[in-house]
Amino acid sequence: MTHLLVVDDHRSIRDPLAAYLRRQGFEVTTASDGVETRARLLEHRFDLVVLDRMLPGEDGLSLCRHIGQDYGTPVIMLTARAEHADRITGLDQGADDYVTKPFSVDELVARIRSVLRRTVASTTNVQRAHAGRLRFAGWSLDLLHRHLLDPLGVEVPLSTMEFRLLCAFLERPNQVLSRDDLLDLSRRDNVSFDRSIDSQISRLRRKLEDDPRHPTLLKTIWGDGYLLAATVHHEPAP
């Protein structure tokens, strides 16, 4: 059974939503703030998190970033703020979708199922086409478990979006990819914010480059897009 974590500090929203999702066939755990959310994440493996942006204490944006980097779990963010800039900020922090309050529970369920389908399809396609490990410039990426190791063998955590972007580059080394290409290849359906790609590229550079301000691996091709300047070797799974 698909296990969801619903995080909202308003019990009048959290409990009825959890009850409705259970009637739709999901297993649901709830949390009301950042401390409780972090505890639940240590206790269970979740398939998706429905996360309120405005929480007491640690806010939803910080939690979204933590979930993506440490667990790679998809996140749908709930917010009462519908401004364009706020949507971009949420996507920049790794959210897979964005729903504005008040919302239709039927629409939210549809978005949950859509994100889950994209996540499963993305993982399945990677496993089928690239089971094994990719090596580039001293780095190593285990495609099945999403483990990225630096040249010293230290694991570097990746958010879901960072993993998808890195796979897109590794599948097309030394090829210029535009923002539109990267949006399509990273499978962010219903998202068309070019600035979110730029932000994710910057985050990926901070993990891959010795000097992110002067990148030698993940290069900007001005006016065209980005390019991974590396030879990539595929090692099939044993």
Q: Residue 129 carries which side chain, given as an amino acid letter? A: A
Closest to 232 measured CA to CA, from 163, 157, 168, 146:
168
Question: Tokens in use for 236?
Answer: 């099939």
Fold held by 3-124: Rossmann fold (3.40.50)
Question: Domain extents for the chain?
Answer: 3-124, 131-236
Taking domain 131-236, whether its CATH number is 1.10.10.10 is answered by yes
Question: Tokens in use for 158?
Answer: 């990746």
pLDDT by residue, tens only, the chain of 238 residues:
899 999 999 999 999 999 999 999 999 999 999 999 999 999 998 999 999 988 999 988 899 988 887 787 889 988 876 555 566 666 666 788 888 888 889 999 999 998 888 776 555 555 555 568 899 999 999 987 788 999 999 999 887 778 888 999 999 999 999 888 887 776 544 444 445 678 888 889 999 999 999 999 999 999 889 999 999 998 887 6
Distance CA 85, CA 137 (A): 36
What is the DSSP code (8-state) at residue 173? T
CB atoms under 10 Å from CB of 9, counted, come to: 17
